[in-house]
Amino acid sequence: MRWSALSRSKTPQIDMTPMVDMAFLLVTFFLLATTFKTGEIVWVQMPRSVAGLNLPMTDLLTIYVDKDGRAYMSLTSPQARRAWLHEYGRVSQVAYTEEEYRAFETMSGFGVSSAQLRNLLQTPAEERKRFKQNGIPIKGDKNELAEWIILARVTIPRLRVAIKADANTPYQKVEDVIKTLTEINVLRFTLITQPKKLNDDAGY
Amino acid sequence: MLDIDEIPNGNRLRRLGRTREKAGITTDMNSMVDMAFLLLTFFMLSTTMYRPRGMELVMPVPDDEDTRTEEVQAVKASQALTLIAMPDHKLYYYRGLLEAAGIKPITYDKAGLRNFLQAFVQETDKPVVLIKPHPDCAFEDLVTLLDEMNINHINRYAIDRVSEQELARMRSAGFPVPNP
């Protein structure tokens, strides 16, 4: 009886239920563990080091320095970014509109002077990528980078600061950023690197 | 595709070749598996597994005009090593005082810098390293030097500016020094 029933079905049948269970378990895991990749403001070729200090994903202020020495900043969470802009508006006496706040929340980072910030925020999201960001001024009459960092610290007391500079940036440009940090008493910060093995040699 | 075995021995269903001897409902899970794995693949690819990693840097309190002279720690010449990072991934060093020692070139690779630092750490009591990056040297070089400090367990190091005397000394020794 049994044999005849099996022989009659042409394709073997596999019970897929456990497989579905497992697949959905994994889907659930990834769904919860995912933080979606946000586009980085600027692409940076990180220098390599064996140092493996893991940085927190929250309360982190990253200062990008591209290879031409332009500085950009990004703060991890959208809520913190909103509060940050609010502080900035309060200090510089600019009342930002709700749309501008929302634009600032969605941007992972920015690299413009305070004079240009409004222009950037009012640019529609799809055109923002093409907006030429010339870096946050460090030298000049006002060190705007310092101002932003101070306000970020006001917003998040447990703020950690990291510098993500391009491997080929002239040291002078990074030094300007480091000097900015030490002048406002941020003496402990992290240089973001990509991992390398202990015995790897640089190619020079 | 839902098979309901209401009549286990029913002839009509038997003829379709799908009936099993089991009572109850069997669902075809294949499409569900397809979908689940599609979602799984999507989330796996879109997840950032990358977490930023880096090296911690602790800078000294910036110089104050009043405290400057008192705070400078005297370091014995025999304990000190100065590394000068120049543009184009060139590295130079001298030990002790500039007047007494000559500036020599060294390479960033393992055979050069790491072996040299290992020997330096071994023969020196409380070694102190001064890292002097030239303003135009690549940031990468500074990171490599700081990394070597950690690898060789040199706890006392400082980052300073390269001085005019050092540059003049290197120029006179025939090493390439960019003009300011």
pLDDT of residue B10: 47
Q: Please check the confidence at residue A13 and state whether its pLDDT lies above 80.
A: no
Interface with A, mutate which of B140, B142, B151 (most A CBs under 10 A): B140
Looking at the DSSP bridge assignments, the partners of residue B54 are: A53, A192
Q: Please check the confidence at residue B17 and state whether its pLDDT lies above 70.
A: no
pLDDT of residue A129: 83
Alpha-carbon distance of A145 to A155, in angstroms, equals 15
Length in residues, chain A: 204
Start-to-end Cα distance in chain B: 79
DSSP-derived letter for residue B138 is: B
Chain B residues whose CB is inside 8 A of the A188 CB are 56-59
pLDDT of residue A107: 87
CB of A178 less than 8 A from some CB of B: yes
CB-nearest partner of A171 from B28, B53, B137: B137
Determine whether the interchain pair B43/A188 forms a contact, defined as Cβ–Cβ distance below 8 Å.
no
Q: List % helix, strand, coil for chain B (3-state, nearest 5).
A: 35, 20, 40
Percent of chain A at pLDDT above 90? 46
Closest among B85, B113, B108, B101 to B169, alpha carbons compared: B101
CA angle (A58 as vertex; A66, A55 as ends), nearest 5:
60
Extents of the domains making up chain A: 48-195
Third-level CATH fold of B76-172: Nucleotidyltransferase; domain 5 (3.30.420)
Mean pLDDT across chain B, nearest whole number? 81
Residue window 21-40, chain A: list those with CB within 8 Å of chain B: 23-24, 26-27, 30-31, 33-37
Q: What is the distance in angstroms between the Cα of A153 and the nearest Cα belonging to chain B?
A: 18
Q: Is the ipTM of this complex over 0.95?
A: no
pLDDT of residue B63: 67
CB-nearest partner of B143 from A5, A47, A170: A47
Q: Please check the confidence at residue B70 and state whether its pLDDT lies above 70.
A: no
Determine whether the interchain pair A171/B108 forms a contact, defined as Cβ–Cβ distance below 8 Å.
no
pLDDT of residue A31: 82
Across the range A25-34, mean pLDDT stands at 84
Extents of the domains making up chain B: 2-46, 76-172
- pTM, 2 dp: 0.77
Q: Please check the confidence at residue B110 and state whether its pLDDT lies above 90.
A: no
Residues in contact with B59: Cβ distance below 8 Å, sequence separation at least 6, in sequence order:
A178, A181, A182, A187, A188, A189, B159
Name the residue type at position A183. E
Select the more confidently predicted residue: A14 or B89: B89
**How does pLDDT run across A171-203, given as a tens digit for each residue?**
999 999 999 999 999 999 999 998 888 887 766
Q: Please check the confidence at residue A168 and state whether its pLDDT lies above 80.
A: yes
Mean pLDDT across chain A, nearest whole number? 86
CB of A161 less than 8 A from some CB of B: no
**Residue B159 and residue B62 in contact, taking contact as beta carbons nearer than 8 Å:** no
Name the residue type at position B177. V
Determine whether the interchain pair A57/B51 forms a contact, defined as Cβ–Cβ distance below 8 Å.
yes
Q: How confident is the model at residue B100 (pLDDT cuts 50, 70, 90)?
A: confident
Length in residues, chain B: 180
pLDDT of residue A35: 65
Q: Please check the confidence at residue A40 and state whether its pLDDT lies above 80.
A: no
Q: List % helix, strand, coil for chain A (3-state, nearest 5).
A: 45, 15, 40
**Residue A57 and residue A145 in contact, taking contact as beta carbons nearer than 8 Å:** no
Alpha-carbon distance of A55 to A166, in angstroms, equals 18
Select the more confidently predicted residue: B107 or B67: B107
**Sheet containing B90-95: order of strands:** B104-106, B90-95, B80-86, B128-133, B157-159
